[in-house]
Amino acid sequence: MTIASLLIGLLLLFQRINVEALNSALCYLSYRPAPELLEFAQELAQDALHYGVEIFIMVDDNNFNISAVNVSPNVRLLQIPREESSRHNYQKAISSGGIACTWLYITSWDKALFYFCALNRNYSFVWFLEEDVFIPNVQAFRSLHELYANTSDLIVPRHELNLDGSDGLWRWVMASGKFIPPWACSMANAVGFSRRMLIAMDHFVQWLGEVPFHEFFFNTLAVQLNFTIVTPTELSTIEYAKVFYYEDVRKQPNNMWHPIKDFPKGKLWRKSLINETLNHNHTFTLTEVEMLCHESQNMRNIEQHLEDLFIRFEINKSNLSSNVRRLWRQRFSDLAEECQKRNVSQEIVSFLIKLVDHIYKLPERM
């Protein structure tokens, strides 16, 4: 079977298939879970009982005794033998090739994909998070999940297209022979998949005999099946090797952050954020934004005012319902247009346009 035949078959399949509205899942990918990860996973699980998300941790090290871990029954620790994952073609998800990368042939990525694509199909949406992805608080995840999971097939930090299949400087050469162009890629440390995306990935893996390199596999398959891809601004702080500080997180406490490998520091940051919320008033109202078109001429320091307003907006947006956030997107867009007509400063117009995507991001387009 050719790749074209496979994709056509999948497109026809998804015209007939009807995925039931089931519970969702979040799966941390870990070699050996740190105590701080286990603690926060339990906090997530307790909160997620209210909105139908079950929490898992895929433990890569099969010598680690998961039965000895004292953890809430709401958090399920998983282990899968490497041989079983390989036997079902779930291998090489994060391997970029070469002898030096043989230890990456089968990791928690392969095992988690195997588990949720093939072994446990009881979830309508599944999040995969590498263990060094830092979530500042449980409400940050709840807000992101409720806003996008019901309407998206693939949630990723970025969506970079390669329309003509040129090799370039990235690892596009790895896509050659596996996909016809267009190709697409993203960082993949925090990713969300719909059930039909998981079904499509399983079909592709069985056809190819391995998992293509994950940073182009997810985006490219979604593009070629015309699936809904969203890149929320909350994932814009998923980076390769950037250093983040508490002040960064304080200004955008509803983002996910990668990499934060110091787990005790992450725990301390969460406590500091709670204390700051209790001791400081960071209220934000729509009226403040609406007044920008009228008061801009009287502001002495527009830049500082907008920075303060944006921080308060970022702190408070997770408290808004999904419906309100979608409505505010349109309101911010209308305000940007109104301010342009009034010849308000470009700083304010740009600020309003920025709020449009930060309140609710629309799906990516080809």
26 belongs to a structural domain = yes
Region 179-198 average pLDDT: 97
**Of 173, 201, 235, which marks where a domain is finished?**
235
- 299 and 215 both lie in a single domain: no
Closest CA to 137 of 317, 267, 290, 289: 267
CB 58 within 8 A of CB 111: yes
143 belongs to a structural domain = yes
- Predicted pLDDT at 160: 95
- Predicted pLDDT at 238: 99
- How far is Cα 137 from Cα 144, in angstroms, rounded to an integer? 12
**Residue 140 CB partners (closer than 8 Å, separation 6+):** 234, 253, 254, 255, 256, 318
- 290 and 216 both lie in a single domain: no
- Predicted pLDDT at 146: 98
- Predicted pLDDT at 84: 98
- Predicted pLDDT at 299: 63
- 83 and 177 both lie in a single domain: yes
66 belongs to a structural domain = yes
pLDDT tens across 263-315, in order? 999 999 999 999 988 777 788 999 999 999 886 556 668 889 999 999 999 99
Exposure class string for 166-195: b at 16+ Cβ within 10 A, else e: eeeeeebebbeebbebbbbbbbbbbbbbbb
What is the rounded average pLDDT for all residues in the chain? 93
Q: 130 phi and psi, to 5 degrees?
A: -65, 150
pLDDT tens across 236-255, in order? 999 999 999 999 999 999 99
Q: What is the pTM of this model?
A: 0.95
pLDDT tens across 100-112, in order? 555 568 999 999 9
* CATH code for position 172: 3.90.550.10
125-130/190-194 β-pairing: antiparallel
- How far is Cα 129 from Cα 205, in angstroms, rounded to an integer? 21
The answer to whether residue 99 scores a pLDDT higher than 60 is no
35 belongs to a structural domain = yes
Domain with 21 in it: 3-235
- 332 and 196 both lie in a single domain: no
- 86 and 222 both lie in a single domain: yes
241 belongs to a structural domain = no
Closest CA to 165 of 150, 177, 147, 180: 180
- Predicted pLDDT at 12: 87
- Predicted pLDDT at 103: 59
Exposure class string for 84-110: b at 16+ Cβ within 10 A, else e: ebbebbbbbbbbeeeeeeeebbbbbbb
The answer to whether residue 4 scores a pLDDT higher than 90 is no
**Of 214, 235, 256, which marks where a domain is finished?**
235
The answer to whether residue 186 scores a pLDDT higher than 70 is yes
Region 170-199 average pLDDT: 94
260 belongs to a structural domain = no
- 206 and 297 both lie in a single domain: no
Region 75-81 average pLDDT: 98
Structure tokens at 62: 């099969």
22 belongs to a structural domain = yes
**Domain count along the chain:** 2
The percentage of the chain sitting over the pLDDT mark of 90, rounded to a whole number, equals 81
- 230 and 327 both lie in a single domain: no
* SS3 at position 33: coil
- Predicted pLDDT at 243: 97
pLDDT tens across 307-345, in order? 999 999 999 999 999 999 999 999 999 999 999 999 999
- Predicted pLDDT at 71: 95
CB 27 within 8 A of CB 126: yes
258 belongs to a structural domain = no
Between 9 and 358, residue with greater pLDDT: 358
- Predicted pLDDT at 295: 66
- Predicted pLDDT at 216: 96
- 231 and 335 both lie in a single domain: no
- 68 and 209 both lie in a single domain: yes
Between 18 and 251, residue with greater pLDDT: 251
How does residue 18 score in pLDDT terms, banded at 50, 70 and 90? confident
Judged by average pLDDT, the poorest of 94-103, 120-129, 160-169, 262-271 is 94-103
The answer to whether residue 176 scores a pLDDT higher than 70 is yes
